[in-house]
């Protein structure tokens, strides 16, 4: 009986975050709304800090980018990924720009794209993410900054920052929960797109 109760508790822990209703995006202010942003490209995720060193998390940046595309789509944008993934390296990554800095991006990918989201992982820490036995509970801490650029030449029109700490799940659930929760928090203040917002 105790074993069954324990299994049910684990299942509820996994299912509740996935079933929770994401708050509706805020309405756009007149300046943001005037830009009429619909199509949004999501560029490669850059690291400004330590990078994954476990085989099961080596592509967590792409997992985050996928979660961002889904999150933007949910918020009413026509979102898609552009550009090749940034290879991992031992070199120090580039820090995210500060508000008011010149945009580190060139022209938007094409004339059909209204805006570009650039993301920097500014904090990353992992412990036993692959679930090696007797190495402690798997955990990931991840913090990131997302910046939306629009216009010609592109200028910053929105910025979000978030940090999540996820512990104690299987590898696939750990990565999915980390990137999904981080995306929800990153995009929380982003106004809804013209496509409207749905519900998960």
- Read off the pLDDT of each residue in 81-103 and give the average, rounded to a whole number: 77
pLDDT (0 to 100) of residue 94: 73
Backbone angles phi, psi at 172, to 5 degrees: -65, -40
Instruction: Place 86 in a pLDDT band, splitting at 50, 70 and 90.
Output: confident
pTM: 0.81
Any idea what the Cα angle at residue 93 is, between residues 122 and 165, rounded to 5°? 25
What are the pLDDT digits (tens) for 138-169? 999 999 999 999 988 888 999 999 999 999 87
pLDDT (0 to 100) of residue 1: 47
- Read off the pLDDT of each residue in 40-60 and give the average, rounded to a whole number: 88
Distance CA 185, CA 180 (A): 9
- Read off the pLDDT of each residue in 73-84 and give the average, rounded to a whole number: 94
Cβ contact 189:26 at 8 Å: yes
> 35-186 adopts what CATH topology?
Rossmann fold (3.40.50)
The more confident residue out of 120 and 13 is 120
In DSSP notation, 83-115 reads SPPPPP-SS--PPPPPTTSPPS--S-S-TT--E
Place of tokens 């580039």: 94
Tell me how far CA of residue 33 lies from CA of 29, 112, 117, 191, in angstroms: 6, 18, 17, 9
Dig out the tokens for 93 from the structure.
Answer: 């990554």
- Read off the pLDDT of each residue in 119-145 and give the average, rounded to a whole number: 88
Backbone angles phi, psi at 93, to 5 degrees: -80, 175
- Read off the pLDDT of each residue in 70-97 and give the average, rounded to a whole number: 84
Q: Chain-centre distance of CA 15, in angstroms? A: 20
What does pLDDT average to over the chain? 81
Instruction: Place 12 in a pLDDT band, splitting at 50, 70 and 90.
Output: very low
């Amino acid at each position: 009986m105790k074993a069954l109760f324990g299994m049910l508790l684990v299942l509820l822990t996994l299912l509740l975050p996935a079933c929770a209703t994401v708050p509706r995006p805020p309405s756009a202010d007149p300046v943001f709304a005037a830009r009429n942003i619909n199509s949004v490209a999501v560029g490669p995720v850059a690291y400004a800090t330590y990078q994954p060193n476990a085989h099961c998390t080596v592509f967590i940046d792409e997992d985050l980018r996928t979660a961002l595309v889904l999150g933007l789509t949910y918020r009413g944008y026509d979102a898609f990924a552009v550009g090749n993934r940034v290879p991992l390296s031992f070199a120090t990554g580039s820090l995210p720009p500060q508000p008011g800095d010149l945009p580190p991006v060139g022209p938007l990918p094409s004339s059909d794209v209204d805006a570009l989201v650039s993301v920097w992982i500014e904090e990353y820490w992992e412990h036993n993410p692959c679930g090696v036995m007797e190495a402690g509970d798997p955990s990931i801490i991840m913090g990131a900054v997302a910046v939306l650029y629009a216009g010609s030449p592109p200028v910053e029109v929105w910025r979000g920052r978030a940090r999540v700490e996820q512990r104690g799940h299987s590898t696939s659930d750990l990565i999915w929960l980390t990137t999904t929760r981080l995306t929800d928090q990153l995009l929380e203040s982003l106004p809804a797109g013209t496509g409207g917002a749905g519900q998960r």
